[in-house]
Amino acid sequence: MTGIVEAAWPGLVLFDRDGTLIRDVPYNGDPELVAPMPGAAAVLARLRARGVRTGVVTNQSGVARGLLRVAQVSAVHRRIEELLGPFDTWQVCPHGPLDGCRCRKPQPGMILSACAELGVPTSATVLIGDIESDVRAGQAAGVYSILVPTPVTRAHEVAHAPVVAADLPAALDLLLPAEVRR
């Protein structure tokens, strides 16, 4: 596959949070437990150096389940930014799986909100995530979606994903034509 962008980078790259940008600690409300995924800092630095906007789209059902407070989620996000730098948008769904909201992945609400907030069309947006609901949300929003599997990613999710990358740096390479990958 050649890069999706023939001469330029995408305008916006959205990342899933847990398992994609940071190690997945279920219902994490403790900033001290935040650990970036391998390659995350370098990928973000490379995107920002090229003027690409970045954002996070994350389901945080622990809020709806009473396992987390919004203040804890915000504290974790502050720690992520301390470690990985600032993001142009944070989109958080605090709802549970049965709440029927339009924002919870695999629904496209957070992606569409991020694009609208930043004025970037979906055609210039990429979503990178580690599970099927991330990819399905991206597809529903009409953005280019890349699955970066982790040990929790199921085999059928990998088999059905339209684009799979071994890790975050490999996902970034998929976005570019070969001559720009340096």
What is the C-alpha to C-alpha distance for residues 35 and 18, in angstroms, rounded to an integer?
10
Does the annotation mark 173 as catalytic? no
| Catalytic option among 18, 30, 99, 167 | 18
Q: Residue 105 carries which DSSP code? A: T
| Catalytic option among 16, 24, 99, 167 | 16
DSSP of 37-78: PTTHHHHHHHHHHTT-EEEEEEE-HHHHTTS--HHHHHHHHH
Does the annotation mark 99 as catalytic? no
Q: Structure tokens of 127?
A: 């979503």
Give bridge partners of residue 15 from the DSSP assignment: 56, 128
Residue 66 burial by CB count (10 A; 0-12/13-18/19+): exposed, middle or buried?
exposed
DSSP H or E run through 147: strand 144-147
Task: Enumerate the active-site residues.
Answer: 16, 18
